[in-house]
Structure 1
Amino acid sequence: MLSCYNPETFVKTPNILSFSKEATTFDQHWIGSAPCMPARRDILCGRLNFLERSWGPIEPFDVTLPSVLKEHDIFTHITTDHCHYFRLGGEGYVQQFNTWDYHRGQEGDPWVSRIDDPAMPKSSYGKVRRQYQWNRTKWPKEEEYPSPRTFASACDWLKDNQGKDDFFLMVEAFDPHEPFDVPEEYMKLYEDAKLDREYFEIPDYDRVNVPDDAVDYIQKRYAALLTMTDKWFGKLIDQLKELDMYEDTLMIMTTDHGYFLGERDYFGKNYMHLYNELAHLPLIVKFPKNELGGQRISKITQNIDIMPTVLEASGIAIPDSVKGSSWMKLIHDPQHYEKNYALFGYHAMAVNVTDGHYVYLRSPNSENKPCYEYTCIPTTIRKYLGKGLEPQIETGRYLKRTEYPLYRVPVNAPSIIDNVSCGMSEVKATKLFNLDNDYAEKINLAGVDHQAEEYCIKLLDKALDEHEAPAEQKQRLGLKD
């Protein structure tokens, strides 16, 4: 949807396009752990979350980017409207920073407290969240929406700290994310969007179950939200330039995962394979002093690389726990940039690997076992791990990087898909695609191109070892007896 990647897109994002022309655009940036909180643990820890556990908190043994920066007297701040940081399963993230700022109201954030029901639409497609309908009454103007408030607060933080060196500012906007809620002026940019219901902002996570006009409408509603987010991103860039803090600042713009808006007959995320719509991400980096400015880079990158990149740019040694690769080497020694694959996935589902030419989506065995979650803090999204399995939960020291005793919680079903009806059915078949010839991933070569599949199996086996995956992962994936 971004014009810097797809010039034919119908979506208007002029500020991101302008930024990309001044910065460096990466063409092989891949997801790591999915979805939201696993991706954030990847970013803050520089290693993959999904091999050991599902959605969950920062663990007491985690070595995080903000904590290392603070140890070296670099001030850290996060401003965000991401409500999952403040729910069960999101503990400990913002507390890694010196200071944090939270802008309330997104999704189901339990913010506006009313016993009575809000005004609800008379007809709708998808979901309508009662709590969100109350929350949205708090932003009659565009600048009062949570994501604009997030960007505005970042601009205020920069003004308050103008001219200061040695800081790490994480500006994290929840949008574009459902509910795809925008002021009407942005919908007018996509004038032919029509809907035969009063409301459609949150698709069901399922196969497409609405008419074609509604699919077109929700895509344009998403586009409108992306355009609004782009506007406020532009304000952040303008503020940095106005304060003369742009040229010597390392800036990284990326996201956590994609989203299906009718492609492949899917809505949402989580329950299907990590196809390119979900897994192949935007990454635009402005290096200090405009190094590599205006260039495109085709090296493999992931969000676990953010931590080592920021640390090396700050002159700080990279901890042994980090598995990502610093992008600073692309400036100083590009021939020796060591990353040549990306390993990615949801916990307890398929495990996937790409070298940028092939992508291999390896499904688990029919029982999806053995499979465990390893944690000191047994929370996950909106619930606790192991409910009903208490006699089967074990404790011990299972991860070589920590002496903390851990819970080892057996997994009967992946926690991230307990709210969808199709369970594991969408990932039961292994897939192999040649991206050079088939970027749309239409032709499954698994079981057909034996040479390519054997190459990918060896790459996956190597990747699991290098990322210290629990031993049972290979057994679950049928890579060993």
Structure 2
Amino acid sequence: MKTLILALTYTVTAHASEIRNILFIVSDDLKASVLGCYGDTVVRTPNIDKLASRGMVFEHAYCQAVWCAPSRASFMAGQYTPRQDAIGMGEFFREQDIFSARVGKIYHMRVPGDTVAGTDGADHPDDWDVKINAQGLEAHTPGLYALLNTDIETTEMQGRQSTGTKHRMFVTVKSDDTSGADQPDYKAASSAIALLNKHKDKPFFLALGFVRPHYPSVAPKQYFDHYPLEQIKLPKLLPADLNDVPKEGRTGNHGLKNGISHHIENQKKMWQGYYATVEFMDVQLGRVLDELDRLGLRESTAIVFTSDHGYHLGEKELWEKYNLHEEVSRVPLIISAPGYPPGRSTSCVELIDIYPTVTTLAGLPAPSHTDGYSLTPILKDPTHALRAAAYSYYAKGHALRSENSSLLSFPSGDCLYDMRKDPHQFYNLATNPEYRPQLESMQRKLQEKLTTLSPPPIEKRKK
């Protein structure tokens, strides 16, 4: 573990009191590894990459819950498991007489369900002075519809998989509307721009939630064209890769069960749809950031960009989320704050750290109820460490990720991965005598963490 003593090697040229505004941007189901600033060479994310060049990129940021509803509730409360004393992030700003607004999905909303209906989902009204939902037709957007696990393509509107249907996560739609103006993320960006103009003269906390790249993969057709199938390489697979994982850790949507494993070309089309929607979301983010610059607000606004969790796109033959492997637990986290230098940090951080970070940046008293740490020391010095490892959970499983090791712990056994040699977590080293000291060290750290927590919630997955 790095030293916890702050090395004053970076000069901060602005004080937190000069940051008047917070722009908090949350993408949906976005894995860190798919972004250009995190090393992907195929995707087009110029706006996120530009934001990264002006901010701190956290290489080892992890969600606490690996599915939507509890993850969002956790980071909005700044607690591993939101307790009765929790005051939501937006409500905290309202209590300081700072305008607080939500556009799009921040707390959990069903996608596509609440997106189609334009409903609030599991929102917390006390967090907001203004809330705006962004509707869209989703799978019923006019255009070429595909259900890729059953190898269906059609322009017909009838029979499309949508809210509550079994295979909705394998839907792509190449929208006929090339402007994208009918899409929820376009509408969310437009509403955010309107709010920036209306409230630019006083401090604000604006939470902007995009729904892409969450399924269905809907975007104007030209975005799909940017990713020819012949340029897409599928993840490396090992035979029986999950055999050395305890039964509780094999959770997720397996390709052999849902059928997508039988359609290699369609697996590439899943990646194509994911890339297309990531790029479309990036374009909408760019519209908002450009307006922030045009209004002269960049020098008084701290920007946070993240996602609720990552996503499987065929790694280990798994799709979606709902397990503790790296593709799901690791998330992008970029913080661009006036006066703080850009950089990259390999220190382990958690999404619950966002709450105390933005309040500190805004010069507000630290909220006493949060479990996280303010990341401002790392914004000053990327080598600074606040914790030895980051914690995530799912059902009966727990994960602990240090800079070099990953421990997945379940009632029937553990997995240990050497992330320097095996970043894709192919080889479980828990029974390897050479790694016994490392295993025991990680197990002790996990037990220390668990003694400080209330039991994490075990929720049934809601369709």
TM-score by length of 1: 0.71
1:188 & 1:144 partners in 2: Cα distance?
19
Query: Could you say which residue in structure 2 is the equivalent of 1:439?
Result: 423
Query: Could you say which residue in structure 1 is the equivalent of 2:15?
Result: none
Work out whether residues 27 and 296 of structure 1, in 8 Å CA contact, stay in contact via their aligned partners in 2.
Answer: yes
Query: Could you say which residue in structure 2 is the equivalent of 1:363?
Result: 410
Q: 1:230 to 1:281 in 2, by over 3 A?
A: same
Task: Spell out the pairing of 1:182-261 with structure 2 (5 A cutoff).
Answer: 182-192=219-229, 205-208=253-256, 209-210=259-260, 211-261=263-313
Of the candidates 399, 402, 405, which is equivalent to residue 352 of structure 1?
399
245-254 vs 62-71, greater mean Cα deviation: 62-71
DSSP-derived class of the 1:227 partner: helix
2:219 & 2:199 partners in 1: Cα distance?
31
1:249 & 1:447 partners in 2: Cα distance?
49
Of the candidates 191, 196, 203, which is equivalent to residue 153 of structure 1?
191
Query: Could you say which residue in structure 2 is the equivalent of 1:180?
Result: 217
Of the candidates 127, 130, 137, which is equivalent to residue 96 of structure 1?
127
Work out which structure has the larger RCO, using CA pairs closer than 8 Å and 6 or more positions apart in sequence: 2
Percent identity (aligned): 24
1:172 & 1:89 partners in 2: Cα distance?
12
280-289 vs 315-324, greater mean Cα deviation: 315-324
1:220 & 1:66 partners in 2: Cα distance?
35
Work out whether residues 37 and 90 of structure 1, in 8 Å CA contact, stay in contact via their aligned partners in 2.
Answer: no
Amino acid across the alignment from 2:311? Y
Q: 1:364 to 1:260 in 2, by over 3 A?
A: same
Amino acid across the alignment from 2:324? L
Q: 1:98 to 1:217 in 2, by over 3 A?
A: same
Work out whether residues 358 and 433 of structure 1, in 8 Å CA contact, stay in contact via their aligned partners in 2.
Answer: yes
2:421 & 2:280 partners in 1: Cα distance?
35
Uncovered stretches (5+) of structure 2, i.e. residues with no partner: 1-33, 153-159, 232-251, 459-463
Amino acid across the alignment from 1:317? P
DSSP-derived class of the 1:4 partner: helix
Uncovered stretches (5+) of structure 1, i.e. residues with no partner: 50-57, 113-117, 195-203, 366-428, 474-481
Q: CA deviation at 1:91?
A: 3.1
Query: Could you say which residue in structure 1 is the equivalent of 2:454?
Result: 469
Aligned length: 377
Query: Could you say which residue in structure 2 is the equivalent of 1:55?
Result: none
Q: 1:333 to 1:441 in 2, by over 3 A?
A: closer
Task: Spell out the pairing of 1:312-461 with structure 2 (5 A cutoff).
Answer: 312-331=360-379, 337-346=385-394, 348-365=395-412, 429-448=413-432, 449-461=435-447
Work out whether residues 107 and 124 of structure 2, in 8 Å CA contact, stay in contact via their aligned partners in 1.
Answer: no
Amino acid across the alignment from 1:459? K
DSSP-derived class of the 1:70 partner: helix
Q: CA deviation at 1:215?
A: 0.5
Q: CA deviation at 1:11?
A: 1.0
Amino acid across the alignment from 1:150? A
Query: Could you say which residue in structure 2 is the equivalent of 1:274?
Result: 324
Structure 1 vs Structure 2 CA RMSD: 3.3
Query: Could you say which residue in structure 2 is the equivalent of 1:304?
Result: 352
Query: Could you say which residue in structure 2 is the equivalent of 1:405?
Result: none
Q: CA deviation at 1:316?
A: 2.4
Q: CA deviation at 1:250?
A: 0.7
1:5 aligns with 2:38: yes
Q: 1:122 to 1:333 in 2, by over 3 A?
A: closer
Q: 1:213 to 1:250 in 2, by over 3 A?
A: same
Of the candidates 78, 99, 122, which is equivalent to residue 102 of structure 2?
78
Work out whether residues 174 and 219 of structure 2, in 8 Å CA contact, stay in contact via their aligned partners in 1.
Answer: no
